[in-house]
Structure 1
Amino acid sequence: MFFRKSKKRKFFFRAGSAISGGAGSVRSYSKKSSEKKNIFGRILYWLVFLIFIGAIIYTLFFSGFLNIQTIKVDGSEKIDAEKIKQLVRNEISGKYFNLIDKNNFLLASGKKWENKIKEEFKTLEEVKIKKVFPERVEILVQERDFLFIFCSGGPCLMVDKNGEALTIVDLNSDELQREDRIILIDESNREVNFGDEILDKEFLDFILKIKEKIRTSNGLEIETEIKTPRLISGDIIIKTKEGWSIYLNKDIGVDRLMNMLKIVLENKITVEERVNLDYIDLRIDSKVYYKLK
């Protein structure tokens, strides 16, 4: 038997062909791995970021850390400071959207409170609110300086330096009895409401000056009550503690009136006659009328 020798096949590989194929596979795997790491890194970054933001929001608005705990009122003398505090507590009670406390320090509106307090307490001239981080509110108030009392067709009211009637007063109160405060009575009985401007500045200054001038210029003491038939007339009636009255008009001027009064008391009416004096009328410039009882 003859056997044919099988020829050996020769295989030729291009140089670097196998190596080249292997490196490509490695690079492809590395790229996919890197992309996965980048995606994971981004997810982790945003997760941490959202947790951080959530923690801040929770701390600021839900944890109670910034809830107002202390309310302090300074400058209140005649108004009960506790009433002002209670008004603010009422304003900050409850929640926004049933989620966030209204008494949150960051959401509290000082300007809104100022307007609310002024609206509720008319006798306050100025209100300033200061928020002290993290949970304190300070309320500084300035009460109006009331100059005299005005009585007309309703309850008597206190009048401030702007001529505005702002609060009811009890003439029989112990505090008022101790004060030497002018009481201006309008005999026309016109109705006056809160916030109405009772007097203009000229008439207001006249009322305040005349009392002191009568005392210093003529040595007369007068009663606290001053009457006017109607404010628009400019006339007022002052009663002295000697029992007689003085009729005056603001348009003549305080100094002129005091000069006229001094002349008539020194030259026309004797000390003996003053006992029976009913009134002196100075409402017409350069003319003086008087009446004995």
Structure 2
Amino acid sequence: MIKSGRSQLEIHLMAQEFSQKSKILFRPKRLEKKQRSKHKKIIFGVLFLIIFAGAIYFFFFSTTFQIKNALIIASEKNISADLVAQVQNSVRDFFQMRFFFVRRDNLFVFQENELKDYLISKFPEISDAKIERSSEKNLAEREIKIYLTKREMAAIWCETDLASAATGELKPVEEENFEPVTSTAATISESEAVRPKEEIKKCFYVDGEGVVFEEAPLTFGALIVLVKDFSGDEISLGARIAEPKFIEFILDARDWLAKNSDVSLAEFSIDKEDRQLRGLTSEEWQIVFNESQTAAEQGFIIKKVLEQEIKDKRRDLEYFDLRIENRIYYKYRNQDSKEDNTQK
């Protein structure tokens, strides 16, 4: 029985020894395979990161895809060499800006509209900046062309203060081709009847879109549309001081009267209280306009009254007023305010 017990113990010990030997002989091979697989993954991961980082650097941070040259082209003769040089410097500044750490002169990041908006905001005198990239055939040149268009002056707009004023009364004249409007009197406030004293502060060039784009000298002349703004609003470069329709109305009124009725509008003014538009003729009488009607319609009324009613007394006029639709009011200088000039 003892021998049998020993044999069982020996068998058990032999089994343990065999198990340990099997671990030593076979388990390291499985571990070795796992370790090799793990090492491969690490190596491939590192290689991927290196390639990815290299690609990011190559496409976004190296000079390979940076715009090499920006050619500024003045599409009009009124663009000075000084303005072109300033725009060139601003383009360089724009390219130094970054989009998520990437310079904006990178071909993959560069946006034409962003540069265009930047230049127009920085230079109010520029109305458009058309940008063209190099063609695909010449992509290696990495060049852009910027075609500048400068705003054209439509009027000179002046900040003006009112110093003194006078009063007057308007008298109506009903046109036979217009339906009468129920109204027995129309009066104008102080500063409306005669030309007031004034103090001009600053003047600016304004284009047809109503955008203020450059400081201007106070200039008078037959070819210049002068607008004196008594509204008290501060004028700043790049701001829209008036709507395009308002500018168009002023130009149309000036041109229509000059062409059809021999009336020369020397300047326009905008009232402080109600921003009412007025025109001052070269004969020193005013026209108070109605912006809800076209300049041609009002010009036709003025022409008819001048020919049929005023005739040779034009130089004695003080003003015309067309603010009330389908009616026109006028007054002579030094006229008794109670005198009735109504035409029925």
The TM-score, its normalising length taken from structure 1, stands at: 0.65
The change in CA–CA distance for 1:286 and 1:170 in structure 2 (over 3 A counts) is closer
In structure 2, the partner of 1:119 is: 121
In structure 2, the partner of 1:238 is: 280
In structure 1, the partner of 2:207 is: 160
Q: Does 1:105 align with 2:86?
A: no
User: Equivalences for 1:69-148 in 2 at 5 Å?
Assistant: 69-74=68-73, 77=76, 78-79=78-79, 80-93=83-96, 103-132=105-134, 133-134=139-140, 135-148=142-155
Q: Which moved more, 1:79-88 or 1:104-113?
A: 104-113
Q: Secondary structure at the match of 2:258?
A: helix
The change in CA–CA distance for 1:53 and 1:256 in structure 2 (over 3 A counts) is closer
In structure 1, what is the Cα distance between the partners aligned to 2:212 and 2:103? 38
Q: Does 1:67 align with 2:66?
A: yes
User: Equivalences for 1:203-242 in 2 at 5 Å?
Assistant: 203-218=246-261, 220=262, 222=264, 225-228=266-269, 230=271, 232-240=274-282
Q: Secondary structure at the match of 1:251?
A: coil
Query: Does the CA-based 8 Å contact 1:257-1:282 persist in structure 2?
Result: no
In structure 1, what is the Cα distance between the partners aligned to 2:97 and 2:247? 46
Q: Number of residue pairs matched?
A: 257
In structure 2, the partner of 1:251 is: 290
* Percentage of pairs with the same residue: 18
Once the two structures are TM-superposed, the CA of residue 184 in structure 1 deviates from its matched residue by: 1.0
In structure 1, what is the Cα distance between the partners aligned to 2:35 and 2:218? 87
Query: Does the CA-based 8 Å contact 1:145-1:160 persist in structure 2?
Result: yes
Q: Secondary structure at the match of 1:158?
A: strand
Unaligned regions of 5+ residues in structure 2, if any?
Answer: 1-29, 161-200, 336-344
User: Equivalences for 1:27-46 in 2 at 5 Å?
Assistant: none
The change in CA–CA distance for 1:86 and 1:155 in structure 2 (over 3 A counts) is same
Q: Does 1:182 align with 2:221?
A: no
The TM-score, its normalising length taken from structure 2, stands at: 0.57
Once the two structures are TM-superposed, the CA of residue 183 in structure 1 deviates from its matched residue by: 0.9
For 1:213, the aligned partner's letter is W
Higher relative contact order (CA 8 A, sep 6+): 2
In structure 1, what is the Cα distance between the partners aligned to 2:130 and 2:115? 9
In structure 1, what is the Cα distance between the partners aligned to 2:159 and 2:143? 44
The change in CA–CA distance for 1:147 and 1:141 in structure 2 (over 3 A counts) is same
The change in CA–CA distance for 1:265 and 1:83 in structure 2 (over 3 A counts) is same
Once the two structures are TM-superposed, the CA of residue 62 in structure 1 deviates from its matched residue by: 4.7
For 1:123, the aligned partner's letter is E
Q: Secondary structure at the match of 2:210?
A: coil
Tell which structure's C-alpha radius of gyration is larger.
1
In structure 1, what is the Cα distance between the partners aligned to 2:103 and 2:246? 51
